[in-house]
Structure 1
């Protein structure tokens, strides 16, 4: 952002008196809340720690939801920073938790844990929300590889089947 010219910032200019409050307000604005990474891909039985960055700071509340954050029944867990307390929500299955930094932890992922997750961070500056997705993939028990032939008997393509 470029500063106004010296003519506008002269001693008698009202612009000079407005510039400092505007700069202070801009620097106090919260950074955008982001999940890191936005999407997670894991195997059943693995654990995750979903990090966040940005968002309101200071005394904040972190609340994680499975699916839609506007529905209270989807709340997994909430952390309130002052006084420090953790509140499990109606959708909490017992293996979801939130750290003091707002990170979501899930131990022993199951296929049913796949889906969209939302976090809402609320502080004195307001609240911000972000959404990401967890995919839980299974390993096939076995697989087979078979060659495919064209009309000339030359192997060009193969087929892989999960059993």
Structure 2
């Protein structure tokens, strides 16, 4: 977007026409003037107050905040080719080009106001004053929904009520547009209500916010989709097939018989080796 020629509201056009008439008189008489096209800036962007009808034998350019050239109002002075001096009203964002134009970096809304330039030549001193208007584009757009959305997705049942509301701060008041699945909706308000959600109303929604003067646009997206079907349940009960049960019973039985044999054999060996064994369980008197 070309910010050197932004769009204007009707009242700005009236102001511009008046400035052009005044500047036309200045141009006819050879006087310097501030270009009307440069008297509208955008917040957080660079603004250049451009000088027109500048003489060739300029000794010094001096820019002031306000209508007068008092010392405390001086922003910056520049003596060609390389001498620059900041003044008391210097904020650290201003500079003067070789052509005498004032550059304001990262323009702020409170930069709005009158600016005066004084041009000294070898023969005379000329002055020009202009009103700079700084407007802000919608730099942040918030989207509120009911039900609430997460990670750009709003989950809602068919037949339920859904509310979408888009908000931002902008001067002048912004314009709102809604887009559903790529198609514009005839809803100029910042909020939209779907009282009974249908399948056709599912999909992606975009809220577009536009500054009518600067034509800056920002947007937020949300997708409405039905709930996901529940996952199949997993039966976690322990199941042992019949053959395995029989095998375990046999294994247990054989294991018990083997243990008994081992115990009897150990007892027999103990009694056989011991000469002091007077009586074993199986011996008789």
Query: What TM-score, normalized by structure 1, do the two folds share?
Result: 0.63
What is the Cα deviation at residue 77 of structure 1? 0.3
1:79-120 Cα offsets, whole Å, 9 max, x none, are 0126x3000010000001101110110110011111010100
> What's the counterpart of residue 61 of structure 1?
60
Whether the aligned pair in 1 keeps the contact of 2:113 and 2:131 (CA below 8 Å) is: yes
Give the structure with higher Rg (CA).
2
Show structure 1 runs of 5+ residues with no match. 1-29, 147-163
Question: Which is richer in helix?
Answer: 2
Q: Which residue of 1 aligns with 2:227?
A: none
Whether the 8 Å contact between 1:56 and 1:122 is mirrored in structure 2 is: no
1:91 equivalent in structure 2: 89
For 2:128, the equivalent position in structure 1 comes to 130
Note if 1:70 corresponds to 2:73: no
Q: Distance in 2 between matches of 1:39 and 1:48?
A: 7
Give the aligned partner of residue 23 of structure 2.
none
- Aligned pairs, how many? 117
* Aligned counterpart in structure 2 of residue 105 of structure 1, from 103, 106, 110: 103
Q: What secondary structure is seen at the aligned counterpart in 1 of 2:110?
A: helix
User: CA offsets, 1:44-100, max 9 Å, x none?
Assistant: 101112211224431420001111333211100000126x30000100000011011
* 1:37 Cα deviation after fit: 2.3
Q: Distance in 2 between matches of 1:55 and 1:139?
A: 32
3-state DSSP of counterpart to 1:32: coil
- Contact 1:66–1:76, Cα closer than 8 Å, also in 2: yes
The answer for unaligned runs of 5 or more in structure 2 is: 1-28, 139-167, 177-187, 190-285
* Alignment of 1:51 onto 2:23: no
- Residue 36 of structure 1 is matched in structure 2 by 35
What is the SS of the residue equivalent to 2:40?
A: strand
TM-score, scaled relative to structure 2: 0.38
